[in-house]
Amino acid sequence: MVKLPENLIKARFLIRPNRFTVVAERGGQHLTAFLADPGRLAELLLPGTELYLAPAQAGEKRKTVYDVVLLHRNGTFISLDSRLPNRLFAAAFRSGGLGAFQGYRQLTAEVRVGSSRLDFLLTVGGEKEAGLPGEGLPPCYVEVKSVTLVNSDRVALFPDAPTSRGSRHLQELMALRDRGCRAAVVFIIQREDALIFAPNEATDPLFARTLREAAAAGVEVYAYRCRISPVAARLSTAVPVKLA
């Protein structure tokens, strides 16, 4: 579980002047807020949609005095912070809540691989004692992707905008797999209403094709939906991944 800021305020979305800025309205006052999600979000950021904003930390030097944290639409809370999935993955790993990665005990963030940085490296770590769970496991590299788009059929889709960076990360994972490492990409769906996950073929056919190639090469593909509230966020359950 990851706690969210305690002092959230409600506001109504007005416009998005650029990828990282939104203007919202509260009590007749216009509030400018930082948006930590560069995706299109066209199906979410609609005029009048309810946003939850957090005041910036005291002492920070910045142009905006708020951060966009959540969106509430059709009874569903959706996180709009693309940094949150990494924190959710790390919290679930440390609590032992990720069955796919049992046996690993050490997590290292932001690992340089080739020309990229991958989100996590999982290793056995600790004392190597006979019979210790995880003994003999290869290092496991993990890339985490944030998902906010869910269509009317309740299929979570990634990406919602073309991402050459995402395809490059998959290529790096395939290269690591060829070297005998374990490699995985984990899609964190920052909402609870998704039933399955699939690559967004229509938006980024290159990423979809590369994801299928990666899976065929032994890169593990997982997707988890989240339970989001104005108080906290946590990984909920795994959802099936549909690559075809």
The predicted pLDDT at position 82 comes to 94
Of 124, 118, 5, nearest to 55 by C-alpha is 5
The predicted pLDDT at position 58 comes to 63
**Residue-wise pLDDT tens digits, 216-226:** 999 999 999 99
**May I ask the CATH class of domain 84-238?**
alpha beta
Instruction: Show the 3-state SS of 24-74.
Output: EEECCEEEEEECCCCCCCCCCCCCCCEEEEEECCCCCCCCCCEEEEEEEEC
pLDDT category at 116 given cuts 50, 70, 90 is confident
The predicted pLDDT at position 59 comes to 60
Of 204, 185, 193, nearest to 155 by C-alpha is 193
Decide if 105 contacts 124 (C-beta within 8 A).
Answer: yes
Q: Taking 90 as the threshold, does the pLDDT of residue 83 lie above it?
A: yes
159 — phi, psi (to 5°)? Answer: -90, 175
**Mean pLDDT, rounded, for 192-206:** 98
**Mean pLDDT, rounded, for 136-154:** 95
The predicted pLDDT at position 60 comes to 67
The predicted pLDDT at position 134 comes to 54
CA 146 to chain centre: 2
Q: Taking 60 as the threshold, does the pLDDT of residue 176 lie above it?
A: yes
The predicted pLDDT at position 132 comes to 46
Distance CA 115, CA 136 (A): 28
Q: Taking 50 as the threshold, does the pLDDT of residue 117 lie above it?
A: yes
Residues 2-79, CATH architecture: Beta Barrel (2.40)
Q: Taking 60 as the threshold, does the pLDDT of residue 133 lie above it?
A: no
Of 182, 170, 172, nearest to 218 by C-alpha is 182
pLDDT category at 130 given cuts 50, 70, 90 is very low
Contacts of 103 by beta carbon, 8 Å cutoff, 6+ apart? 124, 133, 134, 137
The predicted pLDDT at position 129 comes to 44
β-pairing, 182-189 vs 196-199, is unpaired
Domain ranges of the chain: 2-79, 84-238
- Per-residue tokens: 99: 């069955």
Tally the residues of the chain: 244
**Mean pLDDT, rounded, for 132-142:** 78
Q: Taking 50 as the threshold, does the pLDDT of residue 131 lie above it?
A: no
Decide if 121 contacts 159 (C-beta within 8 A).
Answer: no
| H-state helical runs in the chain | 84-94, 164-178, 205-216
DSSP 8-state class, residue 131: T
pLDDT category at 114 given cuts 50, 70, 90 is confident
- Per-residue tokens: 149: 């788009």
**Mean pLDDT, rounded, for 168-172:** 96
| DSSP-assigned states of every residue in 176-243 | HHHTT-EEEEEEEESSS--SEEEE-TTT-HHHHHHHHHHHHTT-EEEEEEEEE-SSEEEEEEE--B--
Of 110, 121, 195, 203, nearest to 152 by C-alpha is 195
The predicted pLDDT at position 125 comes to 77
pLDDT category at 127 given cuts 50, 70, 90 is very low
**Mean pLDDT, rounded, for 159-173:** 95
**Residue-wise pLDDT tens digits, 26-77:** 999 999 999 999 899 999 999 999 999 999 876 667 789 999 999 999 999 9
The predicted pLDDT at position 13 comes to 98
Q: Taking 50 as the threshold, does the pLDDT of residue 144 lie above it?
A: yes
Residue given tokens 């912070």 in the structure block:
81
Strand partners, 193: none
- Per-residue tokens: 224: 């988890």
